[in-house]
Structure 1
Amino acid sequence: MIKKKTRQKLRLLLLNGIFLVLCLSALVPILYALSMALSQSGSGLSSGTVLFPEHPTLENFRIILFDKPFMTWLKNSILLSGGTVLIAIGFAVWAAYAFSRYRFKGRKTVLQLLLLLNAFPQILTMFAIFRLMKTMNLLNRHIGLAIIYAGSMCIFAIWNLKGYFDSIPIEIEEASKIDGANDSKMLLKIILPLASPAIIVTAVMVLIFVWNEYLFATTFMLSEGNYTLASGLYQLQTGDYGRNWPLFSAASILVSVPVLIIFFCIQKYMVSGLTAGGVKG
């Protein structure tokens, strides 16, 4: 019995050690990017790989923040991400609830078609969307880009939220109807608070997609004043002879900071199962 417990402890210790090594290995690229950002200009292609520069400097961060239109790109990304999240989640919540609770003709067919549309690469629709936006005078305008992003991410949001709505016990809704609540009041006062973890996590996933997307942003945003952070980073490296990898690394780290802050803020919503026991009480 003692040997069995010892073997279990050794196995658990070995498993934890493997996970620790994997986590530390995943941090190596991040540490290298931070080291590159703190390095002097021109050291990106130097021989050797070091995680800590000999002469660290914050000059690259100063150039990005004050000499480049980084704050303009940040403002554009915040407006575009916020608008896309509002549009996509606003439509997805109602559609996901309808697909979850109501049984109407063609329901499964519509869900399968949405899933099929989401399977095609976005680049296949690039030319058609470009012509459509040009016809509607939406080129180089953030509202046009927000509509494209919301349309593509709304499918993901619908499927993700539908699965969460399916897990909410129907007895909760039946009890609220017995108490006299109509469908709108029941959805706003009962279902949405219960589904808030899934809604918040889905909204963050949509935001991250918009935050990092550069293919449509670089194609449809034609002036530097309308660039997002992703397209701005792309423009930093478009020169054939002027590539500055320490500067690019500093900008990449600054772009990642808002997303990291958001993840730290929503940690408590990442745990599911808030509706467990809601009927038993």
Structure 2
Amino acid sequence: MNKRKIKKYAGLTILNIVFIILCFCGLVPILYALALSLSSQTSALSSGFAFLPKGLTFENYRRILMEEPFLRWLWNSIVLAVGTVIIAMMCSVSCAYVFSRYRFKGRIQAIRGLLILNAFPQILTMFAIFRLFKTLNLLNNRFGLILIYAGTMCIFSIQNLKGYFDTIPVEIEEASKIDGASEMQLLWKIILPLAKPSIIVTSVMVLIFVWNEYLFATTFMLNETTYTLAGGLYQLQANDYSRSWPLFTSAAILVSIPILIVFFVIQRHMVSGLTAGGVKG
């Protein structure tokens, strides 16, 4: 083996070691939270740092599932996530396809307008939306929150899907039209199957946004029965006298499990769905 190959393998070995160390550093908070959730101690700060739980117990998980309305919060988050994904993707797919394939007056201005809207912080709209929802009696209403989430994520979804549609050759559509395919058949039987990776990844990113969203959920959902998981986690820590970090970390671990399952299921679509969607604007 010559010196060039030795240097190459040595460099790759060092690089892999560095990546392993970085990954371990990123896992430290997660491993500590897992150990704390399985621990019988009542505070995260009363004892030293340790990866192994002290007094292994599943009591914290039993309490969060049986004594707290965690399942109710989970159901609220599932309803909001599914409703938002359906509405946002129905609007985004059609809009992104129109922006990608059709040339009409005001098209560029509309795309730029969407980018400008996406640049404003969400908190600027809070007061106006609250007054509007109070007038329309949509406070404590899941449908109102779905409308907010869908409108917020439509902008991102349109941009991501448009970039992917731009990578699909127009010749495929022209050949389908020659064979007699209508516009609806072209979209459902040709374009959507080809854009499946981007649609799946965009849907999952919308899902993750809704699952973790805190600001709107705690502002427009005003009681415990309508809280989402993010609002419920805040509620667990709202009282300084009843605060329990092991209970909180148990809830946080349970909240993360569905998203991890979804991520591993669609992992093979992640690279193609994200990179191809960012090729063209």
* TM-score of the pair, normalised by structure 2: 0.95
How far 1:174 sits from its partner (Å)?
1.0
Deviations 1:27-65 (CA, angstroms, capped at 9, x unpaired)? 111001101111124231213211112211111000000
How far 1:272 sits from its partner (Å)?
1.6
Equivalent residue of 1:272, what SS? Answer: helix
Equivalent residue of 1:261, what SS? Answer: helix
Bigger drift between 254-263 and 176-185 goes to: 176-185
Partner of 1:252: 252
Distance in structure 2 (CA, Å) of the matches to 1:94 and 1:226: 32
Does residue 129 (structure 1) correspond to residue 156 (structure 2)? The answer is: no
Partner of 1:279: none
Partner of 1:197: 197
Paired residues of 2:153 and 2:206 also in contact (CA < 8 A): yes
Distance in structure 2 (CA, Å) of the matches to 1:203 and 1:272: 14
Q: Which amino acid aligns with 1:258?
A: P
How far 1:268 sits from its partner (Å)?
2.1
What runs of 5+ residues in structure 1 fail to find an aligned partner?
A: 277-281
Q: Which amino acid aligns with 2:219?
A: T
What runs of 5+ residues in structure 2 fail to find an aligned partner?
A: 277-281
Partner of 1:115: 115
Equivalent residue of 1:238, what SS? Answer: coil
How far 1:16 sits from its partner (Å)?
1.1
Partner of 1:53: 53
Runs of 4+ deviating beyond 2 Å:
none
Does residue 2 (structure 1) correspond to residue 23 (structure 2)? The answer is: no
Q: Which amino acid aligns with 2:99?
A: F
How far 1:240 sits from its partner (Å)?
2.5
Partner of 1:103: 103
Paired residues of 2:41 and 2:54 also in contact (CA < 8 A): no
Distance in structure 2 (CA, Å) of the matches to 1:57 and 1:237: 21
How far 1:140 sits from its partner (Å)?
0.3
Partner of 1:178: 178
Distance in structure 2 (CA, Å) of the matches to 1:41 and 1:138: 42
Distance in structure 1 (CA, Å) of the matches to 2:234 and 2:54: 28
User: Percent identity among equivalent residues?
Assistant: 65
Paired residues of 1:85 and 1:150 also in contact (CA < 8 A): yes
Does residue 66 (structure 1) correspond to residue 58 (structure 2)? The answer is: no
Partner of 1:33: 33
Deviations 1:198-236 (CA, angstroms, capped at 9, x unpaired)? 001000000000000111111111121111111111111
Equivalent residue of 2:65, what SS? Answer: helix
Distance in structure 2 (CA, Å) of the matches to 1:237 and 1:207: 25
Partner of 2:83: 83
Give the alignment's Cα RMSD to 1 decimal: 1.3
Paired residues of 1:100 and 1:162 also in contact (CA < 8 A): yes
* TM-score of the pair, normalised by structure 1: 0.95
Distance in structure 1 (CA, Å) of the matches to 2:271 and 2:219: 38
